[in-house]
Structure 1
Amino acid sequence: MKNENDHLYVDSKLLEIFKKGSTTYFNSSLFFPPRVRKDVTRLYAFVRVADNYVDSIPQEVEKFYQFVEEFYRARREGKSKDLVIDNFVKLEREKQFEESWADSFLRSMEMDIYKKRYETMEELEEYMYGSAEVIGLMMSRILNLNREAEPYAKILGKSMQFINFIRDIKEDLILNRQYIPTEILRKFNLSSLREEEVKERIKEFESMMRNLIKLYFDWVKEAEKGYKYIPYRYLIPIKTANDMYKWTAKVIYKSPLVVYSTKVKPKKNKIITRAIENALGVPIWRYFSNISLMRK
């Protein structure tokens, strides 16, 4: 017998991929309505699988290209042998994503196979368009937002990706990657981001990191102008995820060298607490304090 809520069912495999892939996004997404949460899960499962292939050690290059081939087959024929791909292709059609968005995403993932350094911000911006901005555009379509919201969705996605580059410097070095453009390193008299070299030029490194974080906050300020296009029920998880990235940026701004000793990420309880605060409109302590005063 078919359950009336079957249309809200999300395969456990997709949920597991999403959950393992991003603490911030996954826990923030719990505050979307079930129908939206399902679509967000379908999107991020697809994104995470492709990203995992190129980020693994060693890289699973053959599996990545098989994934890409299977995706384009599913686009042509409507079905593949891959649950993640099938769900994304259905989502792409249901929400009328531009096909160029997924094309750009996969192109950026492919860049992670052969491109290890970015010389200029222009090069990095090209990468971030495919790896982050198009995800913002897809989210905008999932939420059925006005097309006027799309530029803000793009820049919010880009800002989050950028703070990941700043946070993951040590992790990317292990992968032999450098996303911070060489032209920026040169401006601060740095020849590389390797820890042993950075420790010889700590002031220069800290100055560079704080400069980059200021750029990040400029982008965030612009992106937040788009909040006015987002219905309140959808704004709670989006604002929560953005708040957590801002928290990460502030921690690193205070002590830039922290990126070499730990991966700065909010814990689950911090994310949930912020989501509740965003729903209430005030910090939790103030909310309960107000209740207490009302009872007196």
Structure 2
Amino acid sequence: MEMDITVSSYRTMADLEEYLLGSSEVVGLFMASIMGLDTDSYPHARYLGRAMQYVNFIRDIAEDVELGRLYFPLTELERFDLESLDLSEIRGREDNFRSFLRAQIDIYRDWQRRAEEGYRYIPYRYLVPIKTAADMYLWTSRIIERDPLIVYRRKVKPSRGRVVSGALLNMLRLIRPRAAVNEGSI
């Protein structure tokens, strides 16, 4: 994206949200359009794209620091008395970093909750993979929440087995309630 070339940090959440609109929310909007969803679903689709991208930012902190990028508002860092997310800056301020990252996970979860309110618009055949992907992002956030410093040691990603078992569970969980409510979309 062009902003990745011209902008290396964002002052406020509003600044970051402008970036998220062009980098991830539009993906949600395109997907909703391709699936033929009602336009009432569009705000939720935007939140889903935004939430998933934010978890990527959380997970990829070390990689982004190496690339000279910061995808969190500077106001958020300031709130937790952090000057940067470089590991050398974090040393001695681990508690600040843990609090910072858990606050970012809370932001992600709020956006994800808003996205999930739109699941009612999604036909079953699309909902299973979408919910499975969202569940894997939630799993990633939980692992990082338990040990925020893990982002400096390794990239947190679910195994293929976890993804497949999640998809199977979602198939079973979603088929009955959706069938009763929305017979025509199965």
TM-score by length of 2: 0.91
Please give the per-residue CA displacement for 1:164-211, whole angstroms capped at 9, x wherever unaligned: 111100000111101111111111011111101102100111001111
Structure 1 residues 6-25: aligned runs within 5 Å: none
Cα distance in 2, alignment partners of residues 197 and 151 from structure 1 = 37
Verify: 1:174 aligned to 2:90, yes or no: no
Verify: 1:119 aligned to 2:23, yes or no: no
Cα distance in 2, alignment partners of residues 279 and 111 from structure 1 = 38
Structure 1 residues 38-117: aligned runs within 5 Å: 109-117=1-9
Verify: 1:261 aligned to 2:153, yes or no: yes
- What is the letter of the counterpart of residue 147 of structure 1? T
Equivalent in 205, 208, 227 of residue 100 of structure 2: 208
Verify: 1:186 aligned to 2:78, yes or no: yes
Match of 1:233 in 2: 125
Cα distance in 2, alignment partners of residues 173 and 188 from structure 1 = 18
Equivalent in 105, 111, 114 of residue 219 of structure 1: 111
Identity %: 49
Structure 1 residues 139-158: aligned runs within 5 Å: 139-158=31-50
Match of 2:29 in 1: 137
Cα distance in 1, alignment partners of residues 83 and 31 from structure 2 = 38
* Residue correspondences, number: 174
Cα distance in 1, alignment partners of residues 73 and 111 from structure 2 = 17
Match of 1:271 in 2: 163
Cα distance in 1, alignment partners of residues 104 and 113 from structure 2 = 14
Cα distance in 2, alignment partners of residues 149 and 217 from structure 1 = 18
Please give the per-residue CA displacement for 1:78-112, whole angstroms capped at 9, x wherever unaligned: xxxxxxxxxxxxxxxxxxxxxxxxxxxxxxx0011
Match of 1:106 in 2: none
- What is the letter of the counterpart of residue 166 of structure 1? I
Shift of 1:119: 1.3
- What is the letter of the counterpart of residue 145 of structure 1? L
Greater shift after overlay, 267-276 or 200-209?
A: 267-276
Shift of 1:280: 1.4
Match of 1:243 in 2: 135
Shift of 1:113: 0.9
- Bigger radius of gyration, 1 or 2? 1
Runs (4+) off by over 4 Å: none
Cα distance in 2, alignment partners of residues 278 and 147 from structure 1 = 25
Cα distance in 2, alignment partners of residues 265 and 205 from structure 1 = 21
TM-score by length of 1: 0.58
Cα distance in 1, alignment partners of residues 42 and 89 from structure 2 = 41
Cα distance in 2, alignment partners of residues 122 and 225 from structure 1 = 23
SS in 2 for 1:212: helix
Match of 2:183 in 1: none
Please give the per-residue CA displacement for 1:263-293, whole angstroms capped at 9, x wherever unaligned: 01112221111001101128xxxxxxxxxxx
Shift of 1:146: 0.9
Please give the per-residue CA displacement for 1:119-175, whole angstroms capped at 9, x wherever unaligned: 111110000000000000000011111111111000010000011111100000111
| Aligned-residue CA RMSD (Å) | 1.0
Q: Greater relative contact order: 1 or 2 (C-alpha under 8 angstroms, separation 6 or more)?
A: 2
Cα distance in 2, alignment partners of residues 199 and 261 from structure 1 = 14
Shift of 1:118: 1.1
Cα distance in 2, alignment partners of residues 120 and 281 from structure 1 = 39
SS in 2 for 1:192: coil
